[in-house]
Amino acid sequence: ASSRPYLIGGNWKANGTVASVEKLVAEFNAAGPIPPNTDVVIGAPFIHIPMLLNTLRPDIKVAAQNSALTGTGAHTGEVCASQLKDLGLEWVILGHSERREGFGMAGEDSKLVADKTKLAIDEGLKVMFCIGEKKEEREAGTTMDVCAEQMAPLAEILSEDEWANVSIAYEPVWAIGTGLTATPEMAQETHANIRQWVAANVSQKVADAVQIQYGGSMNGGNAKALLAENDIDGGLIGGDHSSWSFSTSSTGPE
Ligand code: PEP
């Protein structure tokens, strides 16, 4: 998409076993080279991250799927951005719609996701910052209101320079894990609106540079057309990684 590099992310959610991770790593390590101008980053559960760092080819980067709102301390069960950085990670996925929803617990609101993002950037990580509307919000014509509400607290606290560490992952919730994909035209329209919002609320410079990934049932069959759109700078591909393969004939994991 235009002159921006591609960012292809994977998010295998709370899936996987030691054996399935070993198998995936072997497949990825045996696959061909990553296309030029493309970064590939896999989001794994915390427990699998050390394995990946030790065994996965180094040109595929590893991301966590969450990080804490706080620094280290008495926060049982949390994993801090500083600890991810210390382990050798470059990336974290934040604000995924499943975390915003909350799995029956209190979900993460936009201010909290923005605060986590700021902390992660302060600690030296890059963030795939997920946004996106639900089905009823798209049907009500409020897609951009929802995306703006999700980005606004971040725009308030990040400096222009800090935006270099953010990739916006636009993931319409109705397309995640459903097999329903936004058409390239629909996705492009929303991506252009998101970029326009960044121009108006951050700066034109950041809007021109920021990568906007599309997520939501992206696969080997539809990735090419989506990635051909001007404002689509990559993908975020979810699901159980046992169904993933890495093919370099298209861009990134399928
Ligand atoms: C995701 O969880 O970020 C995602 C895009 O999932 P899927 O590719 O399964 O729709």
pLDDT digits 0-9 by tens, 155-194: 999 999 999 999 999 999 999 999 899 999 999 999 999 9
pTM, entire model: 0.95
Atom of ligand 1 nearest to the CA of 218: 8
Quick check: 248 pLDDT over 70? Answer: no
Of 48, 96, 191, 241, which residue is the catalytic one?
A: 96
Candidates 153, 147, 144, 171; CA nearest to 110 is 153
Handedness of CA 201, 203, 208, 210 (dihedral sign): negative
Start-end of H helices in the chain = 18-30, 49-55, 81-87, 97-101, 110-122, 135-139, 143-157, 184-201, 204-209, 223-227
Mean pLDDT of 34-58: 97
Q: How close is the Cα of 103 to the center of ligand 1, in Å?
A: 16
Quick check: 253 pLDDT over 60? Answer: no
DSSP-assigned beta bridge partners for residue 159: none
Candidates 180, 165, 175, 183; CA nearest to 128 is 165
Mean pLDDT of 114-140: 98
Return the number of other C-beta atoms located less than 10 Å from residue 79's C-beta: 18
CB-based contact 118:157 (threshold 8 Å): yes
Task: Tell me what pLDDT residue 246 has.
Answer: 66
User: In whole angstroms, how far apart are CA 197 and each of 28, 98, 146?
Assistant: 37, 24, 12
Return the number of other C-beta atoms located less than 10 Å from residue 221's C-beta: 11
Mean pLDDT of 26-43: 96
Distance CA 14, CA 41 (A): 17
Q: How close is the Cα of 87 to the center of ligand 1, in Å?
A: 26
Quick check: 249 pLDDT over 90? Answer: no
Is 156 among the catalytic positions? no
Quick check: 251 pLDDT over 50? Answer: no
Confidence of residue 252 (pLDDT cuts 50, 70, 90): very low
Ligand 1, CB within 6 Å, residue ranges = 11, 171, 176-177, 215-218, 236-239
Quick check: 153 pLDDT over 80? Answer: yes
Confidence of residue 254 (pLDDT cuts 50, 70, 90): very low
